[in-house]
Every structure is written in structure tokens, then in C-alpha cells.
Structure 1
Amino acid sequence: MHLSPDLPVGRPSFELSEDELATVVDLLCQGVAAAKSLLTSGMLEVSITIHVKKAMRRLKKELGLSNLEITGEFELLDLGNNDPEVLGRIDIVLRFLHQFGDEEAYLGVECKRVGAGEAVLNQRYVTQGVNRFVSGQYGAGHHRGVMLGYVLKLPSAALVEGIDARIRATYGEDAKLVGLEPHAASLSMHEGSLSQGTSGHVIRLTHVFVDATQAAAAASG
């Protein structure tokens, strides 16, 4: 993977290999599967993600992945004024060894609850998830980002179709979700390419939908 022309020269820390992305997807999917027994009815997004991150860190240790760090609630700051403003907090942030030392280099994972018939949650997946990458609020200038969808109510196929339709209606047909070979512990996986900000830079988002049905009740809370 090569740096896009709109990125500053000398930022190889923004690059991620397919193997590195696959490692992240594996940790996310296995992390959710390991945490599922701890999910309770009505559990909110933040609580689900805390359990998932803890499981991911245990898996990372078991697998001996010393070239990777996992953090969460990662604050993005606007340092362009005298009183820095928090632009947002990414749910899960992963950094590989070649990214250490560059605070702007990371792989951001935004987590959102979704579900069959949960129109409000499914809409937020796009408006409060995907859009944060598109606007450059998250992952500015990055090549890759990840959306993790906690599916609270099955079946998942129809809700993914609805999310895809909203993405295409908002960002154009080029942003459509393309199906990927799913991870064994996922319900489905997809990828979409979106123009970020006004620079024309393209970020590729990997969408991973996982079974979180034990946290299904009171989903709209």
C-alpha cells in the first residue's frame, strides 16, 4: 500500500498491511465472542466495548503479539488554538510497532449497536459512526478504519442492507458496501471506500458485524 499524494511525504506510519488488518479483525471477532457471556440485557455500547477490549488484551497476551498495543476511549484533540478542544473519543485504538511515536498514526475502531428493526441505532451507525471517518474527525488522512457493529437482534442481513442503502444515499454509489469473506466469529464483513473531508483523500472502512444478541433488550436506550 502506498501513501496517497495528498498525504505528507514521510508518513509510513499511516500504512497498514493486509496481515495487520487481518490481525485486528481476528482480535475484534474473537474478543466479542469471548466477552459475549458477560453481555447483559440492555447493556450500553460503552459497557459492551469495555468487556470486548479486556478480552482482546487477554487474547493479545496469549498470542504473544508484542508488536501491538490496544487502547480505548482515545481522545482526539484540536491543537490549533490556545484552548485545545476534544474533537471526539474513538472507542478502540490499535497501534502497531511501526506506528509508535506518531500520535496521529493508529487504526481506529468505532463501535455501534445495531439490530433488526432498530431504526434509530442503525441510523446512528452511519451518522455517528461512518460519518466521523468521512469528515476526518476520526482517522484524518488514514488509509484504513474499522466499524464494529454489535448486532443486538437477528437476522443481520436486512439491517446491513439498510445501512448500505443509507451510506449510498448519503455518500454516493462509490461508497457502497462490498462483501468480504467473513471471519469465522463474525456474522458478515464488508468494505467501503469513502472520500474524506474536502481533500479527496480516500479512506477504506472495514465493517465487521458480530453477534451481541445477549445485550438485546432496551436497545434504544
Structure 2
Amino acid sequence: MSLLTPDAPFGHPAFALSDDQIATVVDLVCRGCDAARPDLTTGMLEVPITIVVRKAMRRVKKTLGLTNLQIRGEVELEDMSTNDSALLGRIDITLQFLHQFGDEDAYVAVECKRVQAGDSTLNGSYVAKGVDRFVTSQYAAGHDWGFMLGYILALPASDVVEAIDARIRKTYGESAGLTPQASHALSLAVLEGALTQSGSHTIRLKHIFVDMIPAAQIKAT
């Protein structure tokens, strides 16, 4: 006799996101980056940029009156398979929607990386130390969605996207390539790709690229 009821949910509902929630994340990220940009300085590293962006996202959230989600700071992920103090890693920005409250494993992960045209080191790190953490289940294990945020420090954006797309295809196969999506007014590009997580689960990554060249740097040139 089956113990399942006809209306029993499949999968893990707390790990899923609706189209509206995905759009909300993209909008908050893009608005937050735009609001943070005037406070950036030339040579700023990833962590200070992300702190400024997180604070700006929280201000935008309050302005928009969004009460169904919370924006959290850098979150440490613990390895629950052992009793020691090992950490899986630290996600730069996480959000939780109302249906995820109370479940520490349910969150929206946003991993941030600096990138720029012609810089193979930064663009390679976007994949090796960003995308790969979702693929290996270090971040967002079992989740339907994850988000990568690329701070573009040198244009053109198309060169950055092409370099990262080529690296992803080479590392994870042609099917993992980036597909352009409807762009946000405050983004340079929004793309999407599907990857196999830990050999079985499919996670979709939304890639958001924004112009984070400090205004003072533009004036100086």
C-alpha cells in the first residue's frame, strides 16, 4: 500500500523559485549594483564591492516595500556530514523568500566575481571559483536555481561573456553553454545555463553582468 497521497509535493518545494521570484532577484541585484556604483573606488576588491552592493540591495528592498524576503550577508555553509568545524564555503549574498524561512538549507545563493575584458585570470576565476561551486554542490545543493553576479570592470561586456561561455562549455560540455535571456535595464547582460550538480541533479544558473566601473575612473579617462 502506497503512503503517498495524490497531492503530495514532489522534490523540495523550499528549494524552488517561481518566475516572479527569479525576476525579483534579478531586479534587486541590478538595482542594488546601480545604487552602489557611486560609492566604488578604483582598485576596490571583490569583498568590499559586495558589502556595498548588499547594503544598497537592502535599501532598495525597503524602498520597494518588499516584505516577503530577507537579504542576508555572507553566509558560511557548514559540512553537516562530519562533526568537525569544516566549512564548505562562504556565499557572498543570500536571500530567503517567505516559503524558505525556517529552513537553513533553503536560500537563494548569489556568488559575486570581478571580471573584465581581456583578463583571463579574473574571467577564469568566475568559472573555477564561482560556477564550479554550484556544480560540485558546495553551494546550493539540490536547489533548482543559483545566481552568478559578474562585476564588469572593463568593457566590452560581450568579450567577457564570450570568454566565460567558452570556459564553461570547455569545462562542463556544450549543453552547459550560456543562453541570452531578457536583459534588465540596469544590466549589461543576463544569461542562463543548466549544469549537472554532483552527477545527477540539474541546477540552472542565472548569470547577471553589471557595469561596476567606478564613476571617478571613467571621468579620469
Normalising by structure 2, we get a TM-score of 0.92
Runs (5+) with no aligned partner, structure 1:
1-7
> Take 2:11 and 2:123, find their aligned partners in 1: how far apart are those partners?
38
Q: How far apart are residue 79 of structure 1 and its match? A: 1.9
Q: 1:42: which partner in 2?
A: 43
Q: How far apart are residue 84 of structure 1 and its match? A: 3.0
> Take 1:203 and 1:82, find their aligned partners in 2: how far apart are those partners?
28
Q: How far apart are residue 11 of structure 1 and its match? A: 2.4
Q: Which amino acid aligns with 1:135?
A: T
> Counterparts of 1:96-111 in structure 2 under 5 Å?
96-111=97-112
Runs (5+) with no aligned partner, structure 2:
1-8
Secondary structure of 2:21's match? Answer: helix
> Take 1:201 and 1:35, find their aligned partners in 2: how far apart are those partners?
35
Q: Which amino acid aligns with 2:110?
A: V
Q: 2:4: which partner in 1?
A: none
Q: Which amino acid aligns with 1:212?
A: M
Q: How far apart are residue 38 of structure 1 and its match? A: 0.5
Please give the per-residue CA displacement for 1:129-177, whole angstroms capped at 9, x wherever unaligned: 0000000000000000000000000111011101000000000011000
Q: How far apart are residue 82 of structure 1 and its match? A: 2.0
Work out the number of aligned pairs and report it. Answer: 209
Is the counterpart of residue 25 in structure 1 residue 23 in structure 2? Answer: no
> Counterparts of 1:80-159 in structure 2 under 5 Å?
80-159=81-160
> Take 1:9 and 1:79, find their aligned partners in 2: how far apart are those partners?
24
Q: Which amino acid aligns with 2:85?
A: P
Q: 1:182: which partner in 2?
A: 183
Q: How far apart are residue 213 of structure 1 and its match? A: 1.0
Please give the per-residue CA displacement for 1:158-199, whole angstroms capped at 9, x wherever unaligned: 11101000000000011000001110000011000000012x
Residues 42 and 215 (structure 1), Cα distance of their counterparts in 2 relative to 1, 3 Å cut? farther
Q: 1 or 2 for the larger relative contact order (CA 8 Å, sep ≥6)?
A: 1
Is the counterpart of residue 68 in structure 1 residue 94 in structure 2? Answer: no
Cα root mean square deviation, aligned: 1.5
> Take 1:81 and 1:138, find their aligned partners in 2: how far apart are those partners?
17
Residues 27 and 157 (structure 1), Cα distance of their counterparts in 2 relative to 1, 3 Å cut? same
The percentage of counterpart residues that share the same residue type is 61
Please give the per-residue CA displacement for 1:48-101, whole angstroms capped at 9, x wherever unaligned: 000100010011111111110001210100022221311100000000000001
Q: 2:205: which partner in 1?
A: 205
> Take 2:154 and 2:134, find their aligned partners in 1: how far apart are those partners?
25
Is the counterpart of residue 214 in structure 1 residue 214 in structure 2? Answer: yes
